[in-house]
Amino acid sequence: MSKNYFILFIFLFAFFFTFSPSEVIGNNQNDFFTEITDTIFSENDIEIEFKSIIVEGVGTKIFIILKNPEQKKYYNNRSINVFINDSLINVKIKNNKGAIPYTFISKETISVKTGNYFFSETITPIPLWLSILPPLIAILIALIFKEVFTALFIGILVGTTTIYFYQGSSIFAAIFKGMFAIIDTYILESLSDKGHLSIIVFSMLIGAMVNLITSNGGMKGIVNILSKFAKTARLGQLVTWFLGIIIFFDDYANTLVVGNTMRPITDKLKISREKLSYIVDSTAAPIAALALITTWIGIELSYIQDGINAIGINESAYGVFVSSLNTRFYPIFTLIFIFILVIKKRDFGPMLHAERKARKSENIQLINNNSNNLNESEISDKIKARWFNAAIPVLIVIFGTLAGLLYTGWDSDVWNNENISFSTKLSKIVGNSDSYKALLWSSLLGTVTAILLSVSQKLLSMRKSIDSLIKGFKTMLTAILILILAWSLALVTEHLHTADFISQGLVNANISPFLIPALTFILSALIAFSTGSSWGTMAILYPLILPASWLISDNYGMDYDASLSIFYNVVSSILAGSVLGDHCSPISDTTILSSLASSCNHIEHVRTQLPYALTVGAVSVVIGTIPAAYGISSYILFPLGIIVLYLIVVIFGKKVYYT
């Protein structure tokens, strides 16, 4: 027995001396770190780096980078002791780099010491309040001067100049560096985003397809068919509203399809492009925010699930989503508000002026000479107008998108699960889909179908069909440039942590849990307005506000059911506020696409839509969100809100000259 123990001891001794510690660690890099207490470094062994953009009060990182090859081999996947301003911190080294979390409250000198190495540098963080200036300046310039390109460019320049100035450049050097950074950093980074590129390609294909089905007489055929139903301006708006609700599964597809399809009809009925773009914009996102089978639901469910996990409550993300629908006041009120405006033949504010001007005009296109017209191509008298040449490609885009969503999100385990309903299965599958692929596939298929229909019926030659497609591509250039600049500005606001500046006040404030949903709604609207992104707003606020609202409710002494009611309301308020801010923002991608699809001047679209969006937003908060937080039933609040909206239209609205 003793002999066996001796052999085992010899074997273990040989094993540990055969394999050095670094080799053992190298085979288990992701499993553990070995702590090193005695570290010896010289100036040639280590390099200290900071993040290029450091904002006051926002967490950043100090990076320790190993330079010496021997040190890299020995210390990689181990921990070293580092003194940051004389405070001892244990830093894990992985891939030859260690990261130390740190927050700069104001200008300060940071010192780093480890072994014989010492480093010191004075850091001046960017004041957090400056982060609001780029989007604020861009929005103000756009609204005042009605010129969006200059507004966006100046907004980005203000942001990049601020960044370089606080990195140590003089004000003049910062301006030049900031100007060059617009194109070599922010525009390129915006274009390198797969989602952004997908939107650009999808928009170009839709523009090309629309131009082609206009040239081959298909759009004229559609106009002839729909004109039988939309014989008056009121009916034309109702048809547009109805189509906006039917195409519920994606806001981008909704906007481009409905806007392009209805524009020739609304022009014929002398409905202003501003009114068309308002109906298009205000049905696309609201219906996508309400429907159970949309491209929005997947990302929203993931954020809700993260919030549930952080809180630790026994609720399903889908159950929370469904339970929160009865407090989504803004999307529902927006859809109803449009219907009331159309039925009562009334408008107010800038929209009233636009509508009356359109009714008096002989040609709608003449008063939209600054718009982005998609399909003003001349149609030969020899081409017979056939409705199906437009209907087939458009239906392929609609149903092709839905089929693509089902294909890319298909999960046999979900589909074969007998414990969940059919609608839940569809929602989960669509929620897990790749919406960008679905949109790209369907738009390409619709465009190819339009070419085949044109050539096979000898309506257009192949050469003329391709020329028409290229012309369609060109018509999208203006809108795409606006989109790229808007995305670049959004990236600047992300780097400067604009959302943190806006949201910091609510999280730190000592407020009643009953006011949390309303404040969340306003906060969401402000962030979406400033960043131009409802999805970005949800990404910021869901993980931030959901746990905070539950904690505030719990500290207030509320029971589980009462806290859960507030939680549902907050879930709705984040999404609803995001949609409101998106509707009001001139730098929002969906707002830009609505202007594009309707061939409406972008700033005029924002200017005429803003009073309507703010009106519905105010009613949503006062009549809906706040009373709901205090426990008043939605069965009371929705009828009451509809009555208030009706009275607003009747009292403040004035009759438009209808035909």
61: helix, strand or coil? strand
Residue 339 has pLDDT above 90, yes or no: yes
CB contact at 8 A, 576 and 521: yes
Q: Round to whole Å and give the CA distance between 104 and 62.
A: 11
Confidence band of 501 (pLDDT split at 50, 70, 90) = confident
Residue 9 has pLDDT above 50, yes or no: no
pLDDT digits (tens, 9 = 90+) for 202-252: 888 888 888 888 888 887 787 778 777 788 889 999 989 988 888 776 777
397: helix, strand or coil? helix
**DSSP codes joined into one string, 247-309:** S-S-HHHHHHHHHHHHHHHHHHTT--HHHHHHHHHHHHHHHHHH-SSSSSHHHHHHHHHHHHH
Please state, rounded to an integer, the average pLDDT across all residues of the chain.
Answer: 82
- Cα of first residue to Cα of last residue in the chain, in angstroms, is 107
CATH number attached to the domain at 34-125: 2.60.40.1930
Place of tokens 């601020």: 162
* Of 112-121, 199-208, 388-397, 420-429, minimum mean pLDDT range: 420-429
Q: Which amino acid is at 214?
A: T
pLDDT at 294: 66
CB contact at 8 A, 212 and 190: no
CB contact at 8 A, 217 and 383: yes
CA dihedral 67, 70, 74, 77 (to 10 degrees): 30
* Of 360-364, 367-371, 562-566, minimum mean pLDDT range: 367-371
CA dihedral 375, 376, 382, 387 (to 10 degrees): 40
Q: What mean pLDDT comes out for the span 301-327? A: 78
Of residues 23 and 204, more confidence is placed in 204
pLDDT digits (tens, 9 = 90+) for 372-394: 444 444 556 677 878 888 889 88
pLDDT at 282: 92
* Strands 346-347 and 97-102, bridge-based pairing: unpaired
Q: What mean pLDDT comes out for the span 535-552? A: 78
Which helix (H) or strand (E) segment is 60 a member of?
Answer: strand 60-66
Residue 15 has pLDDT above 60, yes or no: no
Residue 622 has pLDDT above 90, yes or no: yes
Q: What mean pLDDT comes out for the span 162-185? A: 92
**CB neighbours of 111 closer than 8 A, spacing ≥ 6?**
83, 84, 85, 86, 118, 119, 120
Residues of the chain with CATH 2.60.40.1930: 34-125
Q: Round to whole Å and give the CA distance between 292 and 616.
A: 23
Q: Which amino acid is at 534?
A: S
What interhelical angle do 194-215 and 477-495 show, nearest 10?
160
Q: Round to whole Å and give the CA distance between 377 and 216.
A: 10
pLDDT digits (tens, 9 = 90+) for 271-281: 999 999 999 99
CB contact at 8 A, 165 and 171: yes
pLDDT at 334: 96
Q: What mean pLDDT comes out for the span 527-546? A: 78
